[in-house]
Amino acid sequence: MVHKVERSALVNYSAQQMFDLINDIEAYPQFMDGCVGAKILARGDDWLEARLELSKAGVSQSFVTRNQLQPPLCMMLSLVDGPFKFLTGAWRFTPLGDKACKVSLSLEFELGNRLLGLAAGKLFEAVSNRQVDSLCARAKHIYQ
C-alpha cells in the first residue's frame, strides 16, 4: 500500500533560514518528534546521505536517504537503504518576500514487508505528519 504525506505551512522566516534548519540533520533528535537518532554518512557539494532512526509506541525503524540539496529552495529525498519498497520526497521552501516563505513537505512511500509494513507505515506516517510542525517550532525557538 502506497502512503502519501503532503504538509505545508507559511512562516515568517526566510527560505534560507528554513533550509538551514532542515539541512541540520544531526539536530533532528532535538526537535523532530519520533526521531531518536540522525547521522550524516557521506556528503558531497550538493548532496548528502544520512541515517535516521525513528521510534514511537514501541516500534523502531532506521533508514538511509540520499538528499539532493538545492539551497535555499529544495531538498529532494530518495531511499538508499531501509524497510521501504520505495521512498521519495521533497522539502520545498518558496520565498514570500525576504522574510517569509512557504514550507512544503511531500513524501510517498511503500513498505517492503507486509507484516512489518503496517506498524512501520503507521510510525513513519505519524512522524512525517508532524515534521512541518516540528520544523516551524524549531524555527521559532532558534530565530526568535
DSSP code at position 106: E
Note the residue count of the chain.
Answer: 144
Report the run of H or E that residue 67 belongs to, with start and end: strand 59-70
pTM for the model stands at 0.91
Q: What is the pLDDT of residue 31?
A: 96
- The cell numbers describing 65, all together, are 536517504
What CATH architecture applies to the domain 3-143?
A: 2-Layer Sandwich (3.30)
pLDDT digits (tens, 9 = 90+) for 57-116: 888 889 999 999 999 999 999 999 998 899 999 999 999 999 999 999 999 998 887 666
List the domain boundaries for the chain: 3-143
Which of 60, 58, 52, 16 is closest to 32 using CA atoms?
A: 52
The C-alpha atoms of residue 83 and residue 121 are separated, in whole angstroms, by: 10
Q: Which amino acid is at 45?
A: D
- Judge whether residue 121 has pLDDT over 80: no
